[in-house]
Amino acid sequence: MALMKKVELARKLGVSKAYISKLIKQGRLIDQNGLVDDEDIIRWRDLKEQHLKAKLQNEILKGDLLRATVKERMSKLIPASDMKECLERKGKQIREAMLQIPTKLSDTLTRRDKRIIHRLLLDEIRATLLRLCENK
């Protein structure tokens, strides 16, 4: 254990005397009548190094998590142009299926009661929409 003046220690570490005083105020170094133990400095430097390594590891993990989150989100995203194309295609399918209903039911509906016509149309519309849902 070697005691040295704050100025000597600051010069040895390449820091200011004020920084050494700050470390003493924080309780990281112990001032013994204006002198500081160089072993305290070694312990302090080791702790600081461990802290910096832990902080770096934490930042690396945060970066990994962010990259994984972005990758996951990117795999779930669909380009707007693809979505627009898909919706246009589905819209055309719905339009065509609905336009075929009158042709499909025209012979069945002749000379029928309004309630029967209504029920037949409703049943056919529902069946058409169900088929469209199943086709995806």
Q: What is the pLDDT of residue 121?
A: 87
* Closest by CA position to 108, among listed 124, 93, 96: 124
Q: Which of 74, 93, 126 is the last residue of a domain?
A: 74
3-state secondary structure of 78: coil
Cβ(21)–Cβ(6) below 8 Å: yes
Spans of the chain below 70 pLDDT = 1, 135-136
Write out the two tokens for 91.
């819209």
Write out the two tokens for 10.
């600051």
Q: Which amino acid is at 68?
A: A
Q: What is the pLDDT of residue 1?
A: 59
Tokens 């009548």 appear where? Answer: 33
Q: What is the pLDDT of residue 62?
A: 95
Cβ(84)–Cβ(123) below 8 Å: no
Reported as type and span, the H/E element at residue 37 is strand 35-37
Predicted structure pTM score: 0.40
- What is the total residue count of the chain? 136
What's the CA gap between 48 and 113, in Å, rounded?
91
Q: What is the pLDDT of residue 7?
A: 84
Q: What is the pLDDT of residue 56?
A: 95
Same domain, 61 and 92: no
Q: What is the pLDDT of residue 136?
A: 59
Q: Which of 49, 74, 99 is the last residue of a domain?
A: 74
Same domain, 24 and 55: yes
Same domain, 55 and 99: no
Q: How far is CA 78 from the centre of its chain?
A: 16
Domain hosting 40: range is 3-74
